[in-house]
């Protein structure tokens, strides 16, 4: 099981993604303080990790669904979901990701 805790930024919302292997697929459980991300999570229950990690085959389902439910293009949650999928499926090592913004 891989878990990602995503602090999305100025919105102040936190999202937790739990990814678990289910055969060749990954089952997701997504909880969030954000209504849009909760709706997104309802449509991302079981995913193929190989379809999620690359733009070369097609747009990952995570981003296809995010375009329907999440109006903020810079939201870090879809990327965090894919990171959890990568780690759980053994396609990436667990390492924190960070974006630091300054003005």
Name all domains of the chain by residue range, CATH numbers in brackets. Answer: 2-88 (3.90.1010.10)
Query: What's the average model confidence in pLDDT over 8-19?
Result: 95
pLDDT at 57 over 90: no
The rounded mean pLDDT for the chain is 95
CA atoms of 27 and 21, how far apart (whole Å)? 6
User: What are the pLDDT digits (tens) for 74-85?
Assistant: 999 999 999 999
pLDDT at 50 over 90: yes
Residue 82: the pLDDT is: 97
Q: pTM score, two decimals?
A: 0.94
Edge-to-edge order in the sheet of strand 2-7: 2-7, 14-22, 25-32, 46-47
């Amino acid at each position: 099981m891989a878990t990602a805790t995503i602090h999305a930024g100025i919105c102040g919302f936190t999202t937790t993604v739990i990814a678990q292997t289910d055969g060749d697929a990954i089952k997701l459980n997504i909880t969030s303080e954000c209504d849009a991300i909760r709706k997104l999570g309802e449509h991302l229950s079981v995913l193929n990790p190989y379809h999620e990690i690359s733009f070369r085959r097609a747009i990952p389902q995570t981003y296809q669904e995010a375009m329907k439910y999440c109006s903020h293009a810079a939201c870090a949650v879809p990327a965090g979901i894919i990171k959890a999928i990568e780690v759980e499926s053994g396609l990436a090592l667990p390492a924190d990701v960070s974006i630091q913004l300054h003005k």
